[in-house]
Each structure stands twice: as structure tokens, then as C-alpha cells.
A and B are shown apart, each in its own frame.
Chain A
Amino acid sequence: MAKYLAKRIFYLILTLFIVITVTFFLMKLLPGTPLTNQAKLSQSQIALIYKQYGLDKPEWQQYLLYLAGAVKGDFGTSFQFSDQPVSYLLSSRIGPSLQIGLQAMVVGVVLGILVGAIGAMRQNTWVDTTTTVVSILGISIPSFVLAVLLQYYLGLKAQLFPIAEWGGFIYTVLPTLALGATPLAESARFVRTEMVDVLSSDYIELAKAKGLSRMGVIYHHALRNSLIPLITIVGPLAVNIMTGSMVVENIFSIPGIGEQFVKSVLTNDYPTIMGLTIIYSFMLCVVLLFTDILYGIVDPRIRLTGKAN
């Protein structure tokens, strides 16, 4: 296991290095400059600013300097938010994104498994149809539409939850619901399909022949075997959601990093773009590593350090 982890961590670093390299040069190809009022500045002023931020050097030098800094944990300072270090900027904003993302994932996946399992157990009845329709709606309705609807009905009309802003737990309810719809729908769909398959398999027949009750069969045998394909999609889905849906964060005025990402790209805020990309990639790599380990826990056939037969 330790050997496997070491290998995976090595690959993680390698991946990050490649991501940094590719992103750095792609980013330089973006049209425009980091300067907001370039037209009003004289050539010498621009040169001065460029010199101050190290943008006057050739790109390969800038790249090497950035790498050297990144290794030491220095991701530069933001252009846009004057002189704030990128690391501080991101760490102060990633909290809300992570919290809402995590809540949305947990609520979505748990409910999704439930909905999917119920659909499979009542296959081809109105219950099944209803759950299928719910998951199709969940996948096809964009989260920002859902967000606005939730704000209107649960926030404005029913006065149950605050419409926007960031405060205690109560403020996270609506964004969690809005973001949770996608993982709910996706996992319901996957679990239903897989469980329909599993329920017609021989080992379920054998479980019934043992005298297990219907719920016993589902709980002890069908559920675990139906979750295996779900793991595949949950990882990337989690990263997507935890790194913050920028639109949903905007709608609920949540100080997360999703919003910042958009702004940094629009303003050519190079260090912030780089910092965010690294965080996204890092999270994706870590989640994928977790997914692979989780596979082994759920399915002994792909256990990483199985005893040799």
C-alpha cells in the first residue's frame, strides 16, 4: 500500500508539473494584457509596471521563475487585488466553496442512491417512472435556474431560508440544494441502472434462496454491488462541485473561488489563474486517488494489495 501511494504521489507531482507548464504557456496566448487602462498609460509607464511584475523578461524565464517560486510555495501576488499573495487570496476564499460543495455532494449522492435504489426495486412501475423523471430533470435543469427558483419559492415566498449572503449554516441550505441536484440525478441514474442489473443476477437469486427478506437482499447484497460504477463518476463530479459553481456562487453572493476564477481570466490576472488551476488539478488528482482506493474497499476484486492466490 505504501509503495502504491508513493507511486501515486510521484505521478501526482508529475501531473501538476505538466498542468503548470501547459497552462502557463496557454495563458500567455490569451488576448489582452493585465492592464485595465492601457490606453491612458504611456509606453514608459507600461514598461515600468511590466518590470515591476517581471513581465518584461522572456516567457521561458518567467516560466522558470514561476516554477522556482511554486516549489517554495510562493505562487506570486495577484495583479487584480493589489499586492495580495495568491495563496492568501485563495485560502481565504476556498472555505465556502468547499463547504457548499461537500454538503451538496453528500446530500446529492445519499439521496441519489436512495432514489436510484427505490426506482430499481420498483422497476417498471409508476415509482420507477417518477424517479427516472426526477433524475432526468435534475440533469437537464441548469443549477442556476434551480437556484433562482429556490430563492423565489423557499426564500422569498416561504421565508424559510435567507435568499443570499454568507453567514451561518442556514445560508448554505439553498446553494447546497441548487448544487446537489446534479449529483443526486447522476447517482440516481447510475445506481438504478446498475441495481436493475444486479437484482437479476444469480447471487441475488441465491440470497433469496437463503431465506433473506426483500430488504435483507437489497441491503446486504444488492446495494454494495450497485455502487461500484457510481464511484467512477462521483470523483470528478465532486471536484467540479467543490471548486465551486461560479454562477451559483454569484447568485447567492457566496465569497468562493468560482467567482474569482472568472474574474482572473477576464483580467489576465496571471498569478491567480495559475494558482486556481493548480488547486483544481491538485484536487482532481487527490479525488481520483481516493476513488481508486475506494474501489478497492467496495470491490475486493480490484483491491490494490490483494493477497496473491
Chain B
Amino acid sequence: MDNENNILEVRNLQVNFKTYAGDVKAIRNVSFDLRKGETLAIVGESGSGKSVTTRTIMGLNASNADIASGSIMYKDQDLLKKSEKEMEGIRGQDIAEIFQDPMTSLDPTMKIGRQIAEPLMVHKGMKKDKAWAQALEMMKLVGITDAESRINDYPHQFSGGMRQRIVIAIALINYPEILIADEPTTALDVTIQAQILNLMKELQDKISTSIIFITHDLGVVAGMADRVAVMYAGKIVEYGTVDEIFYNPKHPYTWGLLSSMPTLDSSGDELPSIPGTPPDLLDPPTGDAFAARNAYALKIDTEQEPPFFKVSDTHYAATWLLHPDAPKVTPPAQIVERQEKYAKMQQALAQAKQTTGPVEEEEEQQ
């Protein structure tokens, strides 16, 4: 592991899908870290490769997936080199996953008690009684009322929100080190979404797990994540802390995403959108894949892929606009507003530091 604070390190991951038309390059050289106890949000539109990334971590890719290169280090071991049998031992034990649609992700013909208890029986070899007792505890923990009687119910007897709580209970019953949440609130009502997100945060503290949170909904990210990685066309184009991505975005794609998110401040009749469609990953364009949809594209964007430019120690973006020789561009008005807010915040923070005196600063340096 490069850093001892990391629980998971993905390096240079490339995943292709073999189809009759050719190889679809779904993941093109993706690297990221997951720190212990943090929530990392991976944001991007449909087909950007978010789910394929997590599926590759779980070892649950479709049979036509070909992992061309890369490594996924977990506890000093490369998950990509593990056998299917070894991965079975890791799934549901060390790494668990919550899926998008709670209406379809539970077995309709099995009592939910059994479904929640199953990971215990599989990984810990627990007998039914003991496993069910723990399942009951977990049901209470995720906020299912009247758990004693409901443990014998079937999925169709629960509402969508309750079912997602059950799915969360299944994922967390073995206290996994990593929880992958693949759009866990997309299929739920907005009011229920908030409940589920709060529950996840609460449980993250209780059982100290690291979360990879996949979503296309930036609104959800703001309240949930510590760090954000923005994915486009099988690549990460920008990553940083949640404040950096929301208030000081550097990549035009991130600008587009943020501008197309309605906020309380947004005015005007029309909600901006990103024109065009994502590129065909059967034959990805040379240079920056976003260039064709990018109003700020430079000539070099169509010729050469931008490397990551450093914005701060935690913030990197892959756009030629950050190159010292690049012309100065003004981002969309909404983004400028955000950046101004951020600058003020930073200023205020700096001032606050100064007024509290040098003692604290010294402590920090130590």
C-alpha cells in the first residue's frame, strides 16, 4: 500500500468488455484511493464506468469483461489476482455492496430474516438460531420497527424504504471494512432518500466502515461524501475534497455537472444542461474524451490526453486549462459564484486561524 491510511488502492485499472462489435473500453486507466473511515463519492453520468469500477472491485463483472491491466490493493493483497474461491471469502465479509433498486434486490421467496442472516452463516459458519438472533439485532439497528415479528416476513410485505434498510442490514451484518453503495437512493422517494442517507452515515460511525458511494446525483454527494471523484467516459477527470469539487471545480465537465444541478440560488427559466452525448467507448476519441461537448475545449484537447494537474494537495483535475500556457477562461457564471464563495470561506478560515493565535497553529504543525 502506498499510504497506510488507505484501505483500498486502485491503480491504473483498465477494463474492456468483449462484444461482437469489438472491445468496449469501459474503464480507461482509473486510479484512486479509499481512506479508512471516509466516504468517497464517485460521480458521473450513466455509462461513465462507475458501476463497472465497483463491480471489478467485488469481482462480479460479467463474463465478457476483460481486466486488461491494473491492480486493486486491499490489505496488501491484489484483489485482481485472487481466485474465485478467495473472492467469495471477501465478498460480504470484508467488502459488501448495496444495490440501486431495493424492489428487486431481495429474493422474493425467502424470509428476510434468512436473507439478512445468510452472510453470517456463509462466512462465520453460524448456526441458524444464532445467525437469526444477530439478524434481529441488525434489523433493529437499521430501524425496522417491530423487528421480532417482521423477521419472518417476505420482501413484498415491506415498502421500498424498508427494503433498502434490509439491504443495508444484509451488507453490514458482517461489519465489512468497505461498503460499496451503488446509487442506493436513486430508486427511492426524496423523503425516504434522506432517511436512508442519514442511516448510512449513522451506521458508518457505529461500525467504522469506509464507503464508496456511487451516484449521479450531486445533491446527494454534498451531504454524504468526504471526497469526490468525477468520472467521465471511463476515466476520472477530477478529484478532491467535497468542498473543492463543489466550490472550486476546475474541469469543464465538473462545471457542467454542477451547473445542471438546481440550487436554491439558481435563477432564470432554464436549467443548463451539457450538450451532446458521451463518446462511444468502442472507439474512444484521442485526447480529452469530453472535448466534443466542451465549450472551453482547446486544440490540444483533441490531440493529446490531459494529465492530472495539481490544484492543491488533495485536489487534481485532468484538463489542459490548468496548464501554465493555457489561455485564461472564465467558467460559467454559476461556477464563478461558487468559486467566489469558496474564496471568501477560505479567507474567513484563514482569519479565524489568525485570531485564535499561533498556539493552535504550532499544534497543527506538530
Residues of A within 8 A of B (CB): 201-203, 205-214, 216, 220-221, 224-225, 298-301, 307, 309
Are the CB atoms of A209 and B60 closer together than 8 Å?
A: yes
Option from B89, B91, B122, B156 in Cβ contact (under 8 Å) with A301 = B156
Residue of B whose beta carbon sits closest to that of A308 = B157
Question: B97 near A: Cβ within 8 Å?
Answer: yes
The interface of chain B, by Cβ under 8 A from chain A, is 58, 60, 84-85, 88-93, 96-97, 99-101, 104-110, 118-119, 122-123, 154, 156-157, 167, 170-171
State how many angstroms separate the Cβ of B154 from the closest Cβ of chain A. Answer: 4
A201 contacts which of B58, B85, B89, B104 (Cβ < 8 Å)?
A: B104
**B109 in contact with A205 (CB, 8 Å):** no
| CB contacts between A and B, total, < 8 Å | 79
**Most B Cβ at <10 Å: residue of A210, A224, A301:** A210
Residue contact A210 to B154, C-beta cutoff 8 Å: no
B106 / chain A contacts, CB cutoff of 8 Å: 203, 206
Main secondary structure of the interface of A (DSSP, over half): helix
In the complex the two chains form, what is the Cα distance from A206 to B108 in whole Å? 12
**A211-B93, A212-B118, A216-B122 as given contacts; A206 in contact with B170, CB under 8 Å:** yes
Nearest first, the 4 A-B pairs at minimum CB distance are A211-B92, A210-B92, A211-B91, A202-B105
A209 touching B109 by the CB < 8 A rule?
no
Check if A209 sits within 8 Å of B91, measured CB to CB.
yes
Question: Which residues of A have CB within 8 Å of B157?
Answer: 307, 309
- Which residues from chain B contact A210 at a C-beta distance below 8 Å? 91-92, 96, 118-119, 122, 170
B118 touches A225 (CB 8 A): no
Besides A203-B108, A211-B92, 15 new A-B residue pairs in contact (Cβ under 8 A), listed by A number:
A202-B101, A202-B105, A203-B107, A206-B106, A209-B60, A209-B96, A210-B91, A210-B170, A211-B88, A212-B118, A298-B109, A299-B109, A300-B108, A301-B109, A309-B157
Q: How far is the CB of A125 from chain B (nearest CB, A)?
A: 11
- Give the residues in chain A near B154, CB-CB below 8 Å: 300-301
Contact A206 B122 (CB under 8 A): no
Bound-state CA distance A211–B89 (Å) is 6
Please, which residue of chain B has its CB at the minimum distance from the CB of A309?
B157
- Once the chains bind, are B105 and A205 in contact (CB under 8 Å)? yes
Q: Decide: B92 and A221 in contact? CB cutoff 8 A.
A: no
Chain B CB count within 10 A is highest, among A207, A221, A225, for A207
Contact at B104–A209, with CB atoms within 8 Å?
A: no
Smallest CB gap from A209: residue in B = B97
- Whole-angstrom CA separation of A205 from B100 in the bound complex: 11
Given contacts A202-B99, A301-B156, A309-B157, contact A212 B108 (CB under 8 A): no
